[in-house]
Amino acid sequence: MIWFTLLLVVLVLAALWASMTTTLLRATLGLALASALLSVVMFSMGATLAAAMELSVCAGLISVVLVSVASLTRPRSIQEEIASRRSRLRRIWPLPLVLIAGGVALSFVHAPVDIVLRLPAGDGDVRTVLWSMRQLDLFGQILILLAGALGVLVLFRKEAKDDD
Amino acid sequence: MTPLLLILTIAVPAAAGLLVLLLPSRRAPWAPAVLAALACAFELALAIYAFPHDVAFAWSWMGFGAEFALKLSRFSAFILLGIATFSFLVTAYSAVSMAKASSSRRFHAWVLFTVALSAGAVLADNLILFLVFWEGLLLTLFAMIAAGKTRPFATAVKAFVIVGVTDLALMFGVMLTGHLAGTLSMSAIRLPLDGLGAVAFLLLMVGAMGKAGAMPFHSWIPDAAIDAPLPFMALLPGSLEKLLGIYFLARISLDLFVLTPESWVSPVLMGIGAATILLAVLMALVQKDYKKLLAYHAISQVGYMILGIGTALPVGIVGGLFHMLNNAIYKSSLFLSAGAVEKEAGTTDLRELGGLGRSMPITTLCFLIAAASISGVPPFNGFFSKELVYDGALERGWIFYAIALGGSFFTAASFLKLGHAAFFGKPTNAKRTVKEAPWPMLLPMIVLAGLCIVFGVANSLPLERLVQPVLGTAMEGAHGGTFAGFPTNMLLVGLTAGVLALAVANHAFGVHRTGKGIGAVDHIHHAPGLSSVYTLQATGVLDPYRMLVVVVGVASKGLYALDRAIDWVYSGLAAQSALAASWVLRRAHNGNVNRYVLWALAGAIAVVLAVLAVMGGGR
Amino acid sequence: MTIEMPQSFWLYFTFFVLLLVDGLWCMLATRNLVRILIGLEILMKSVTFFLIAAGYLSGRMALAQALVVTVIVIEVVVVVVVAGIILGFHRKHDSLDVGNTKRMKG
Amino acid sequence: MSDLLLLVPFVAVVLLYLLPKRARAVGLWVAFGILALEAAAAVLDRFATVDVGLLAPLEKLLGFHLATDGLSGLVILCTGLVGMAALLVARRTLESVNERFLFANLVLVAVVGINGMAMVRDLFSLYVFVEVTAVATVILVAAGRGDHVLEGAWKYIFLSVVASVLMLTSLGFFLLSTGGITLDAARTGLAANAPLAWIAMALFLCGLFVKGAMVPFHGWLADAYTAAPAPVSVFMAGIVTKASGIFALLRIAQSTLGGATPGREILLVVGAVTIVVGAFLALTQTNFKRMLAYSSISQMGYIVLALGGDLHLGILAAGLHFFNHAVSKSQLFANAAAVEKQLGTLDIDEMGGLGARMPVTAGTSAVASLSIAGLPPLAGFWSKLLIILALWNAKEYAFAAVAILASLVTLAYFLSLQRKVFFGKPLEKWAGAREASAGLLVPAVALALVTIALGIGFPFALRILLGGGA
């Protein structure tokens, strides 16, 4: 139990680093790390399929997208960087304090929670659920991927057109 | 007599209105007016044919008590006849006066829609159906004012807001009434006037008064008088709105609710009536514009009707309804005369008018008859209805009678001033040669003036055929079953005559005192009794006229301020605070998406906390 | 290595809230559009975590996983679209500053 | 049949991309045809009863577990009408064939999403389809040519993500409290008065409030509508926002809340606040589309307010107002598109007297404005009357009063709009302005006719609706 809690603490720390670090590249790295840690958390909770998806798509694909966006855009000049760092520090420094305070405060809460329909673990295999009960969601996935493809077509190709 | 005929009374004008809108107006500019007049003539024929019948039918409609129910009763047949008559006369008149106006087509279309909706409102026997027609009239009112000429939009919006507010009250009233009565069928409702019933009655009353233009919902009428086309003034504020407003007031007082003299609502109604009479007539007295003066009288006369109905006595109610009929006759005649003057002399400013009596003799004659009628001179119709109202008012309290009589004095005084300034004296505007108005404009005036005489001399005709059947059994036992004939209470007649004489004397003296530019040849100047008053004034010790002028002037100015204050509440305070609210809210939307996200999160937290609070409280 | 799993709702809830606040703060406190995208991702992590935890605590793991799989697919599409918009901003204003997203007011 | 509503537009998009590039002009008409069929299906059909024999193997194969009822039919009908209007507007306002092709495809994708929302019985699938529609719409906005398209799209998707977070958190709570995420499971949990279930419902409602732009969740809407290209704003205002926010609320109120405390109170308060704030915000706007956008917020508040009233009458009233507002508001945006195309501006302070130059646009916009403001005998009057009756029956007199009083403000801003744009003196500046081309007038006139026809024939329509058990 302690190990699991520690894992979660590290997950939050990674996310905190992603949101506080100075350069975009490091932030992306932090995010990928957080994603990977979440994947481990899911795995240890028994959610293997979701963990695999999280690792490959979020830690993998999304990081690629983020890195390419960062590389496609103009890096800021040194002056801009320095000026922005100061103002950024002013806005971001309370965050760790808030997180620590929030974590400590919430750790004292032990009000009973009615989880009404607690079942013994294991309500069937995820593949069965996904393929025989959630077909509509699968259709939705295909559909949103189609929309995303159209989006890529228009939003990214527009850039190519403008570059010509 | 089939239900079909009832529907035709609504459908024919509506269809004619649509047809007018579709006509090619460039090719035949006269067509809309002619079509309108024809449709109104047909409407009149229908109304006359339907008059002696009793028809009622209902089609099930929406499912929650709202039925498409029409009913022709004694009362609605009477009002329908009035609507048809006045719309016919006014369309005949506007065929000439509006023929060349670019807005003729739209104007006539809206007149026809107004007639259709009015007929519907009068015939409706279901509160929801009634509401639909009534609200539709709001729309045509707006459109008709907007069809006028100079900057009418502000007026239109003002009229719309005021009438809209009163219609909201009506809407609430209808709901409450339906809720209390358990039915929406008007002929089935009979509620006692206590508790919520009284509230419902007052809400409905506000709606009726807003339509009739009683104080304090009158504010738009004088403004509209300047801006709107004159046939409109003659038709809507002059006659139809009074007919409809008083019809509905009488319906709720007589049918839907049980109004007895003991109820506290009765003095409220009488008080509103009395206040309307006096305040509006004092406003009228200081006006210097023909149309505006008439407009304030249009408000003042409503006071008599409300006072009469408010007495809750048969004599007063009959008087009030008879006065409604009479008022519609002479007031539309007066508005039409104003229209004729405006068309021929080019202005309605009394300071620029004068001596029209010679160039427009027929108009002048009609004006004189109508003015005598509104002032309550026997044997014209206004005299008889006012006497009935006086009779009822005196029975309920001398103060109401005194105010009503005072109103008569000022009415007479202001019409003496108006007639004197416009039709007698020297023509002040010599450059323009004024001719008599054309016949199609004169005819309606003549017909209406003739009615003033007929309904006065032969008052048993309207009273026994039209008005008294409305009360039904309540008439029996009182006054031998009829109020026709010359008033029996000679004391009241004497007082009326005295007041009229006083008005004449006052006018004569006033003209003599201030009369610059107005000829001395007028017969009024030589009225007896003048010299003694004059001597008294000449001593300089006591100047009753000046005192009167000062008192009336101060009162009028105060009332004018009050009037503007009411106006300000409508068009100033409400509008300004709405704009301020809008401005503050727009400033809050500063374009920063972070702010919007925080709003959303705050909203979500508030909703969850509210749920937790309720769930916690529920345990 | 087998890890003993806690069963307390509040433990999961605490870390869910911490991730949520972290992501929101990251989104709202920055002036850089890409960093907003990163904040958005952290938000999605927190929600994913909460869904899995809910499935775990209520014994509906399979259902929760099925949902999370779909959520991840939606998430990646949203990220790609947002990235496209960010590139559009950069193309138009040659800057990643959030000031360009605050032009319309009132 | 219900499966076809999802499959046909989807397959059409895929097939359209297989076409050679020079045949792309046909895309718009394919989409138009599909939407026309959809509207026809909604009018003629009860969906579930037809073609069971023929489609049964398909349905078994897909296993979508869809369910249709009167409410689904309502949304599908609105989608068909509004979508056709938007496509016609697109034909005249989008310049290149490629833009029109893309528009048609994305509209079809969004339509699949909306059809899905109309028929699902499961909160997560609802979320998925809401998200599909949102993504397609964001791309539509961002793909436009205007100055602010990116900003509008950005704000829209930013707030959408907030909505997603709220809804997914809510689903987590539903899992915890009821173990299921179907509408029925949610109802069971709520009926048992489980606090967790109620928190979950509150969060889901908040997510939908963002999607439906209820105050204070409304920040994105005005900017997105204003920035969007003309046909996109027709489509968004007409159906997207309504389906993904308001219709979902309708569905939940109908099948899950069942008029229970505190759900009803939340809907009442949020609806009333939205009505008032939206109306006041609209009052002083100077941009044609922005005023319409805030007016949309206010009117959607009416729909939500109705859901807090008497259960059956409230849902009927909300459904009717949903339809009326979808028709009238998309028509007003089509009018705005016509004005923008002819004048090149949307600033109403610069306009004036256009009534003489553009009589059809002026006339139809007057019809739609007056209908939304609730003047008889137009359709909007009836739905507002029913809303007020629904509140009255539920003894919510104060909220009924708010609904009535706010309609005065509605009237005020629509009068001000009509006056500034169409009435008044014709300005010299616009002496050369002409009525828009027939292609832009057709949707406006058609939708105005629907408003008038429904207004006049309302009693009969109501009987059909009551018979159909909406």
What are D279-293's pLDDT values in tens digits?
Answer: 999 988 999 999 999
* Token pair in block for residue D365: 């916009």
Least CB–CB distance from C76: residue in A57, A110, A133:
A57
Contact present, B312 and B263 (Cβ < 8 Å): yes
A120 CB neighbours in chain C (<8 A) are 59
Contact present, D307 and D253 (Cβ < 8 Å): yes
Contact present, B442 and B340 (Cβ < 8 Å): yes
Q: Name the β-bridge partners of B185.
A: B126
Residues B457 and B579 reside in one and the same domain: no
> Smallest Cα–Cα separation from D451: which of D358, D334, D357, D338?
D334
What's the one-letter identity of residue D349? D
Question: Does D125 contact A136 at a Cβ distance shorter than 8 Å?
Answer: yes
Dihedral sign (CA B340, B341, B344, B349)? negative
Least CB–CB distance from B582: residue in D202, D209, D284:
D284
B494: three-class secondary structure by DSSP: helix
Residue C43 covered by a domain: yes
Q: Which residues contact B463 (CB under 8 A, 6 or more apart)?
A: B318, B322, B482, B483, B484
DSSP D144: S
CATH code where residue C26 lies: 1.10.287.3510
B425 dihedral zone (left: phi>0; alpha: psi -120 to 50; beta): left
Cβ neighbours of B470 (radius 10 Å): 23
Predicted confidence (pLDDT) at residue B454 exceeds the cutoff of 50: yes
From the CA of A23, how many Å to the nearest CA of chain D? 23
Angle separating helix axes B381-396 and B398-423, nearest 10 degrees: 150
Contact present, B591 and C104 (Cβ < 8 Å): yes
Say yes or no: A116 contacts chain D, CB-CB below 8 A: yes
Question: Does C19 contact A148 at a Cβ distance shorter than 8 Å?
Answer: no
| Number of domains chain C contains | 1
D131 CB neighbours in chain A (<8 A) are 140, 144
Is the pTM higher than 0.80? The answer reads no
The whole domain housing B383 covers: 290-473+491-537
Give start and end residues of each alpha helix (H) in D344-396. Answer: 354-357, 359-373, 379-393
B349: three-class secondary structure by DSSP: strand
What is the separation of C-alpha D464 from the centre of its chain, rounded to a whole number of angstroms? 22
- Mean local confidence (pLDDT), D78-93: 93
Q: Which chains touch D (3 or more CB pairs under 8 A)?
A: A, B, C
pLDDT confidence of residue B535:
41
Residue D152 covered by a domain: no
Least CB–CB distance from D131: residue in C74, C100, C102:
C74
Residues B359 and B425 reside in one and the same domain: yes
The whole domain housing D468 covers: 259-470
Q: Which residues contact D342 (CB under 8 A, 6 or more apart)?
A: D358, D433, D434, D435, D436
A and C adjacent (3 or more CB pairs under 8 angstroms)? yes
Residue C34 covered by a domain: yes
Count Cα neighbours of D16 within 13 Å in the Cβ-side half-sphere: 28
What's the one-letter identity of residue A78? I
Using alpha carbons only, give the angle B188, B191, B192 rounded to the nearest 5 degrees: 155
Q: Which residue has the higher pLDDT, D337 or D378?
A: D337
Predicted confidence (pLDDT) at residue A32 exceeds the cutoff of 90: yes
- Mean local confidence (pLDDT), B264-280: 85
pLDDT confidence of residue B520:
28
Would you give the end-to-end CA distance of chain D in angstroms? 19
Question: Does B593 contact D159 at a Cβ distance shorter than 8 Å?
Answer: yes
How buried is B342 (Cβ within 10 angstroms: 0-12 exposed, 13-18 middle, 19+ buried)? middle
CA distance B270 to B303: 8
A144 CB neighbours in chain D (<8 A) are 128, 131-132, 135
> Smallest Cα–Cα separation from D202: which of D122, D103, D302, D270?
D270
Residues B523 and B581 reside in one and the same domain: no
- Mean local confidence (pLDDT), B494-514: 75
DSSP states along B334-348: HHHHHHHHHHHHS--
The whole domain housing C63 covers: 9-93
Residue C3 covered by a domain: no
> Smallest Cα–Cα separation from D433: which of D381, D337, D358, D376?
D358
Nearest residue of C to residue D178, measured between CA atoms:
C58
Mutation for A interface: D66, D120, D129, D183, most A CBs within 10 A: D129
Predicted confidence (pLDDT) at residue A31 exceeds the cutoff of 90: yes
Q: Which residue has the higher pLDDT, D306 or B283?
A: D306
D162 dihedral zone (left: phi>0; alpha: psi -120 to 50; beta): alpha
Residues B547 and B519 reside in one and the same domain: no
Q: Which residue has the higher pLDDT, B224 or D274?
A: D274
Q: Which residues contact D8 (CB under 8 A, 6 or more apart)?
A: D34, D37
> Smallest Cα–Cα separation from B344: which of B290, B287, B297, B401?
B290
CA distance B609 to B602: 10
What dihedral angle (degrees, nearest 10) is formed by the CA atoms of B54, B59, B65, B71?
Answer: -20
**Mean pLDDT across chain D:** 87
Give residue for tokens 């159209």.
A150
DSSP B18: H
- What band does D273 get if pLDDT is binned at 50, 70 and 90? very high
Give residue for tokens 């295999």.
A125
CA distance A85 to A93: 11
Residues B584 and B594 reside in one and the same domain: no
- Mean local confidence (pLDDT), C22-48: 92
pLDDT confidence of residue B282:
77
Mutation for B interface: D294, D385, D397, D413, most B CBs within 10 A: D385
Residues B452 and B599 reside in one and the same domain: no
CA distance B441 to D48: 68
Give start and end residues of each alpha helix (H) in B398-518. Answer: 398-423, 439-457, 460-462, 468-471, 490-514
Residues B578 and B509 reside in one and the same domain: no
- Mean local confidence (pLDDT), B456-484: 71
Residue C4 covered by a domain: no
Cβ neighbours of C7 (radius 10 Å): 12
- What band does B536 get if pLDDT is binned at 50, 70 and 90? very low
From the CA of C100, how many Å to the nearest CA of chain A? 15
| Number of domains chain D contains | 1
CA distance B90 to C76: 73
Least CB–CB distance from A54: residue in C5, C59, C72:
C72
Dihedral pair phi/psi, residue A14, rounded to 5°: -60, -45
Say yes or no: B584 contacts chain C, CB-CB below 8 A: no
Question: Does D63 contact A132 at a Cβ distance shorter than 8 Å?
Answer: yes
Predicted confidence (pLDDT) at residue B518 exceeds the cutoff of 50: no
Residue B485 covered by a domain: no
Q: Give the DSSP H/E element, type plus range, for residue B69.
A: strand B67-72
Residues B348 and B301 reside in one and the same domain: yes
Predicted confidence (pLDDT) at residue B511 exceeds the cutoff of 60: yes
Q: Which chains touch B (3 or more CB pairs under 8 A)?
A: C, D
Residues in chain B: 619
Residue C66 covered by a domain: yes
Predicted confidence (pLDDT) at residue B169 exceeds the cutoff of 80: yes
| Helices and strands per DSSP (H, E), number in chain C | 3, 0
Dihedral pair phi/psi, residue D412, rounded to 5°: -60, -45
What are D193-216's pLDDT values in tens digits?
Answer: 888 889 999 999 999 999 999 989
Predicted confidence (pLDDT) at residue B46 exceeds the cutoff of 70: yes
Give residue for tokens 């049964």.
D56
- Looking only at the bridges linking them, the beta strands covering B67-72 and B191-192 are unpaired
Nearest residue of C to residue B590, measured between CA atoms:
C105
Residue C41 covered by a domain: yes
Say yes or no: C106 contacts chain B, CB-CB below 8 A: yes
Residue B3 covered by a domain: no
B414: three-class secondary structure by DSSP: helix
- Looking only at the bridges linking them, the beta strands covering B191-192 and B55-60 are unpaired
- Looking only at the bridges linking them, the beta strands covering B257-258 and B191-192 are parallel
D377 CB neighbours in chain B (<8 A) are 132, 136
What are B149-166's pLDDT values in tens digits?
Answer: 545 566 666 666 677 778
CA distance B227 to B221: 10
- Mean local confidence (pLDDT), B308-321: 85
Say yes or no: B588 contacts chain C, CB-CB below 8 A: no
* Token pair in block for residue C51: 């869904």
pLDDT confidence of residue A71:
83
Q: Which residues contact D382 (CB under 8 A, 6 or more apart)?
A: D320, D324, D376, D454, D455, D458, D462
DSSP states along B217-262: S-THHHHHHHHS-HHHHHHIIIIIHHHHHHHHHHHIIIIIEE--TT
Least CB–CB distance from B589: residue in C28, C101, C106:
C106
- What band does B563 get if pLDDT is binned at 50, 70 and 90? low
CA distance D253 to B17: 44
CA distance B330 to C2: 103
- What band does C19 get if pLDDT is binned at 50, 70 and 90? very high
Predicted confidence (pLDDT) at residue B527 exceeds the cutoff of 50: no
* Token pair in block for residue B257: 């609710």
pLDDT confidence of residue B218:
66
For residue B29, whether the previous peptide bond is cis, meaning omega lies within 30 degrees of 0, is no
CA distance B277 to B282: 9
| ipTM of the modeled complex | 0.90
pLDDT confidence of residue B555:
62
